[in-house]
Amino acid sequence: MLSLLLCAGAWAGFPADTVPQEGTLQEVEVIARQIEANTIRLQTLNFGGVGQIGGSIEGLVRSLAGVAGSDELSSQYSVRGGNFDENLLIINGFEVYRPQLARSGQQEGLSAINPDFVQFLSFSAGGFDASKGDKLSSVLDVQYRSRNTDALPGQQVRAGLFSGRIFGSALLDHAGPRGKVYQSIAIGARYRSNAPFIRGGDVQGDLRSQAQDVQFLFESASPRWFHEVLGMAQASTFALRPSSRTTEFGTVTEVLRLNVFMRGMERYEYQNAFLGARSRYTLNETQQLYLESSVAQALEKEDVDVESAYLLGEVNNNLGSDSFGEISYLRGSGGHQRYARNTLWVREWQAKAGYVYKYEDQRLEAAVSYRHQNGLDMVHEWVNLDSAGYSLPHQPTTVVLQGNDTLRTTKEGLRLFQVTDSRGQLVNGKLHAHLLWQRAIPEVGWKPGWNAGLRYVRDSRSGEQRLSPRLSMYWSLPSRHGVELSLGSYAQTASVRELRDWSSARFLDSARMQHAWHGIAAVEKRFESNGRPFFWRGEAYIKYLDRAFPFEQDGMRVRYLGEGPGIARVVGIDNRVHSEWLPGTESWASLSLFRAQEKFDGAWTDRGSDYRFSFSLRVEDALPGNLSDKVYMQINVTGGFPFGAPLESAKDFRSPPYRRMDLGFQHDFGPKASLGLEVFNLLEIRNTASYFWIMDISTARQYAVPNYLTNRLINVIFQYSF
């Protein structure tokens, strides 16, 4: 309620408009000149093409330098050796909540970003400025719009075989007492089902997968005032009654097959809503005041009760044998039961006030904000394993010989293989403040542009306070070269998921903030080749975490194993080349090499996000002399992730590399209508998302059975703009 009162005060509590309209237009032009440290900005037309699975903006982000992803159905990604919780998502200046309980991309539902609203987006893989919040790795800053332009139509419908979007906007301009008032509203709704992707996998059964959301944006601009209200509501449901599963894995010379027969049900539900409002008042041509507030709530539930029986055997790979392709030797059999009743409820609101001063090519910003968080985390989850008629861990009968007597002591109860039962509540107040001084980049010369800032955060839960200085300097040199140096301090206050300790099954009420130092050196160059413009940028960086939490990644699920204390380091280089093959679009190639390590027990080991390398190629082109027939191609190759037995610190194994190629074709029927054909996973490579562990008590061996991602899938999309 306080959030809404603050917003109402911002709308009604300031003097009337007196500055001429022309001053507002000049202001927008000045803002566009400011520098953005270590930031990639993508053009609007990149978001409307086919070839992106589920139409997700994050699919484009995963093709940028420094970004690694190994689940195409998810909106999560890893940046420079960090995990999925270290990335900040900002829409129109508001920090947006992302689901935390999803175990895999197929359960996650829709991304928070609606592509139909996006005017432009900026992405920073590290070294971002002091105004961008408190995360360790990256910032994805998305700017929505409600007014239609030539490149952004006012009304649009997009329908596919398993997804659809509808978008509409309207102008509400009218004459005000001191000049014209420009108002507009945009509303968009989306639907998506992951069922076609899942049904092509190894698990068979009755499936229901659906996600939908609605978003709106209202904007009002007059000579002195600017108001905006952003709202969104999302719901996602994934329900599966599995019946069987068949998975083959191993090597060329040793092929293993797992046959699983199942009964039960697993159900995952995610619901979240967000409302944010901002008002900006222009004092004069150089000064502004703004006030904003937002409120968000999320409810996530997991209900799982699945019982299964499995057979693991060796497959006969002798081409001359009559039993080729059949199981020739049974290695083990057993049962597996998984039970979960997990609930996560989060509510938070934020209020923020700020001041902006602009003079010539410089900009000064100061702001203070307060965020209050409430979170309730309830976990009741267990796994029961049975192999060769014994429950694991096995408690054998104890035989003791005493004289002429033989005493037998049998086990008295059932011991479960894994049990997590915890409950915790997060009540936290975070006070933030930042000071930012920016100077625009000069055309050419040794005089630098800079982005200097200081950020303060106080966390009431842990009682910590921290000052984070950040500095980035850029030189625009002759011969179209550029050099940038950045250094900064970044703290991350703990969310509910970070406070859940899976190793001890308890909630860490007083865990401290994580903290990292970023150091980045970059060189870039603009040039032309074969009549096309190119832009190249190379970065060398080091990220040192002097306070880090240990974690493991199980698909999209991040499980924290306590608060350490420990340290971590990431060292790497990023390279990216951009070019314009079609007017208004970009094609690019990215290559990242890095090493992510951590130290918690006296020795350096690989972090769970140590992918080692990532290569991406995104191409948008058209047939020669015919811009109506376009082709979109995206290739992603990412190194395998380290893994080990669940909840064990040692990660002695590494998954195969992630390799994927998506292709899209689009034909335009004039300026308004188009028909697209998408071919996902064109090469039908079986990529590994995570591992399912089984055990054979007769040999005391554990087997990591891969959970594969999507197969090849074809989709047809029709799009019409009014």
What does the domain layout of the chain look like in residue ranges?
A: 2-393+409-721
Tokens linked to 710 = 């999507």
Pairing of strands 87-91, 138-144: parallel
For residues 431 and 351, the answer to whether their CB atoms sit within 8 Å is no
pLDDT reported for residue 73? 80
The residues pairing with 369 across neighbouring beta strands, listed in sequence order, are 352, 432
pLDDT at 541 over 50: yes
Pairing of strands 327-359, 673-680: unpaired
Which helix (DSSP H) or strand (DSSP E) does residue 492 occupy? Answer: strand 481-492
Residues 6+ apart with CB under 8 A from 322: none
654: how many CB neighbours lie within 10 A of its CB? 15
440: how many CB neighbours lie within 10 A of its CB? 17
pLDDT at 14 over 60: no
The residues pairing with 456 across neighbouring beta strands, listed in sequence order, are 433, 467
pLDDT reported for residue 18? 34
pLDDT in tens, 599-647: 988 889 999 899 999 999 998 888 877 888 888 899 999 999 998 888 7
The residues pairing with 426 across neighbouring beta strands, listed in sequence order, are 375
pLDDT in tens, 261-278: 999 999 999 999 999 999
pLDDT at 693 over 90: no
Tokens linked to 388 = 């060769």
Least confident of 87-96, 205-214, 300-309, 409-418: 409-418
Tokens linked to 165 = 């979007």
Extract the runs of DSSP E, i.e. beta strands, from 162-285. Answer: 163-171, 174-176, 179-192, 203-221, 225-250, 255-282
CATH superfamily ID and name for 2-393+409-721: TonB-dependent receptor, beta-barrel domain (2.40.170.20)
Q: How far apart are CA 642 and CA 552, in angstroms?
A: 9
* Phi, psi of 561, deg, nearest 5: -115, 45
What would the 3-class secondary structure string for 456-483 be?
A: EEEECCCCEEEEEEEEEEEEEECCCEEE
For residues 61 and 42, the answer to whether their CB atoms sit within 8 Å is no
Cβ neighbourhood burial of 650 (10 Å; 0-12, 13-18, 19+): exposed
* Phi, psi of 197, deg, nearest 5: -70, -40
Q: How far apart are CA 238 and CA 109, in angstroms?
A: 8
Distance spanning both ends of the chain, measured CA to CA: 39
pLDDT reported for residue 153? 67
Q: How far apart are CA 521 and CA 542, in angstroms?
A: 9
* Phi, psi of 711, deg, nearest 5: -85, -170
Residues 6+ apart with CB under 8 A from 652: 644
pLDDT-derived band at 670, boundaries 50, 70, 90? confident
Q: How far apart are CA 118 and CA 57, in angstroms?
A: 9
Place of tokens 């900009």: 363
pLDDT in tens, 56-89: 788 888 889 999 988 888 888 999 999 999 999 9
Report the helix count and the strand count for the chain, using DSSP H and E: 6, 42
For residues 586 and 135, the answer to whether their CB atoms sit within 8 Å is no
Tokens linked to 560 = 């924290």
Residue 558 Cα distances to 76, 145, 313, 507, angstroms: 11, 33, 31, 15
Backbone region of residue 108 per phi and psi (left: phi > 0; alpha: psi in -120 to 50; beta: other values) = alpha
* Phi, psi of 585, deg, nearest 5: -120, 170
pLDDT in tens, 563-583: 878 999 999 999 999 988 777
pLDDT reported for residue 293? 96
Extract the runs of DSSP E, i.e. beta strands, from 532-608. Answer: 532-548, 551-554, 557-560, 566-579, 587-599, 604-606
For residues 658 and 685, the answer to whether their CB atoms sit within 8 Å is no
What would the 3-class secondary structure string for 28-72 be?
A: HHHHCCCCCCCEEEECHHHHCCCCCHHHCHHHHHCCCCCEECCCC
Tokens linked to 289 = 């005041």
| pLDDT cut 70: percent of the chain above it | 88
Tokens linked to 580 = 């314009």
Q: How far apart are CA 134 and CA 100, in angstroms?
A: 17
Question: For residues 545-559, b (16+ Cβ closer than 10 Å) or e, as one string?
Answer: bebbbbbbbbbbbbb
Peptide bond into 393 cis (omega under 30): yes
Q: How far apart are CA 539 and CA 84, in angstroms?
A: 22
pLDDT at 345 over 90: yes
Q: Count Cα atoms within 13 angstroms, Cβ side, for 658.
A: 28
pLDDT at 50 over 90: no
Coil, strand, or helix at residue 489?
Answer: strand
pLDDT-derived band at 420, boundaries 50, 70, 90? confident
Residue 293 Cα distances to 132, 338, 369, 455, angstroms: 16, 42, 9, 19
More confident residue, 486 or 316: 486
pLDDT-derived band at 489, boundaries 50, 70, 90? very high
pLDDT reported for residue 713? 87
pLDDT reported for residue 150? 60
Question: For residues 501-519, b (16+ Cβ closer than 10 Å) or e, as one string?
Answer: bbeeebbbeebbbbbbebb
Q: Count Cα atoms within 13 angstroms, Cβ side, for 204.
A: 8
Q: How far apart are CA 82 and CA 558, in angstroms?
A: 11
Task: State the average pLDDT over residues 282-296.
Answer: 95
623: how many CB neighbours lie within 10 A of its CB? 11
Extract the runs of DSSP E, i.e. beta strands, from 549-585. Answer: 551-554, 557-560, 566-579
| pLDDT cut 90: percent of the chain above it | 44
Instruction: Name the nearest CA neighbour of 621 among 590, 591, 583.
Output: 583
Say how far residue 305 (Cα) sits from the centre of its chain: 28
Q: How far apart are CA 364 and CA 356, in angstroms?
A: 6
Angle at 568 between CA 565 and CA 571, to 5 degrees: 170
76: how many CB neighbours lie within 10 A of its CB? 23
Residue 472 Cα distances to 87, 104, 282, 516, angstroms: 20, 37, 28, 16
The residues pairing with 539 across neighbouring beta strands, listed in sequence order, are 522, 574
